[in-house]
């Protein structure tokens, strides 16, 4: 009798253990997914309007002599890099725009002694149908207010960038 009770107890314990341990927790379909977008970027080629030369290349400028000033101090400044001669976009200033949310972002770029460029861009929050990323941010309305400019494309760019040629 004692053996049967002990065996029954062990069987109940085993069934209980297996019943609870085999239950899979419901997982979110988004669990473990990286949900960050590539940073937004704007590329600038500054051209001397008298000589038609790329100002960065002709004057060997680096980021130490280029200053970015934000009209809205609360917002983060974009980070910047200058592409070098090993890059198809040699002499292009690339601004890496922080994802700070929806809004208008006016700022200026001081290009050494060649002038100040006043510009702005807008970030819009757009609803998506993806349950893991219910919205995304889109950059639009890139405007240069102080100098003539034109948009251009480069066949070496694999990702989407916004490229502007600005006459100083």
Residue 64 DSSP code: G
State residue 47's pLDDT score. Answer: 94
Tell me the mean pLDDT in the region 16-32.
68
pLDDT band for 56, please (50, 70, 90 cuts).
very high
Of 134 and 78, which is predicted with more confidence?
134
Give the domain ranges of the chain.
Answer: 40-167
Tell me the mean pLDDT in the region 68-94.
75
Tell me the mean pLDDT in the region 64-80.
72
What SS3 state is found at 10?
A: helix
Could you tell me if 94 and 38 are in contact, meaning their C-beta atoms sit under 8 angstroms apart?
Answer: no
Q: What is the chain's mean pLDDT, rounded?
A: 80
State residue 24's pLDDT score. Answer: 60
Tokens at residue 5, please?
A: 């009770």
Tell me the mean pLDDT in the region 112-141.
86
Of 74 and 34, which is predicted with more confidence?
34
Q: With a cut of 70, say whether residue 158 has pLDDT above it.
A: no
Could you tell me if 66 and 111 are in contact, meaning their C-beta atoms sit under 8 angstroms apart?
Answer: yes
Rounded to whole angstroms, the Cα distance separating 43 from 40 reads 10
pLDDT, tens only, 86-120? 777 889 998 888 777 888 888 899 998 899 999 88
29-44 burial string, b = 16+ CB within 10 Å, else e?
eeeeeeeeeeebbbbb
Rounded to whole angstroms, the Cα distance separating 49 from 168 reads 6
Q: Are strands 79-82 and 93-97 parallel, antiparallel or unpaired?
A: antiparallel
Which ranges constitute the DSSP H helices of 22-65?
55-58
The set of residues, in sequence order, having a beta carbon less than 8 Å from that of 72 and lying 6+ positions away, is: 105, 106
pLDDT band for 74, please (50, 70, 90 cuts).
very low
State residue 163's pLDDT score. Answer: 84
Q: State the pTM of this model.
A: 0.72
Which ranges constitute the DSSP H helices of 22-159?
55-58
Rounded to whole angstroms, the Cα distance separating 75 from 134 reads 24
CA angle 6, 9, 14 (to 5 degrees): 125
**How many percent of the chain have pLDDT more than 70?**
79
């Amino acid at each position: 009798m004692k053996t049967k009770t002990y065996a029954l107890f062990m069987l109940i314990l085993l069934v209980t253990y297996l019943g609870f341990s085999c239950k899979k927790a419901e997982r979110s379909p988004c669990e473990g997914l990286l949900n960050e977008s590539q940073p937004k970027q704007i590329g600038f080629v500054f051209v001397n309007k008298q000589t038609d030369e790329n100002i960065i290349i002709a004057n060997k400028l680096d980021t130490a002599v280029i200053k970015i000033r934000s009209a809205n101090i609360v917002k983060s400044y974009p980070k910047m890099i200058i592409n070098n001669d090993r890059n198809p976009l040699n002499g292009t200033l690339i601004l890496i725009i922080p994802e700070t949310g929806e809004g208008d972002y006016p700022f200026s770029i001081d290009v050494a002694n060649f002038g100040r460029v006043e510009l702005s861009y807008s970030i819009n929050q757009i609803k998506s149908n993806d349950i893991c990323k219910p919205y995304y941010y889109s950059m639009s309305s890139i405007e240069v207010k102080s100098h003539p400019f034109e948009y251009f494309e480069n066949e070496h760019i694999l990702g989407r960038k916004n490229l502007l040629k600005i006459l100083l």
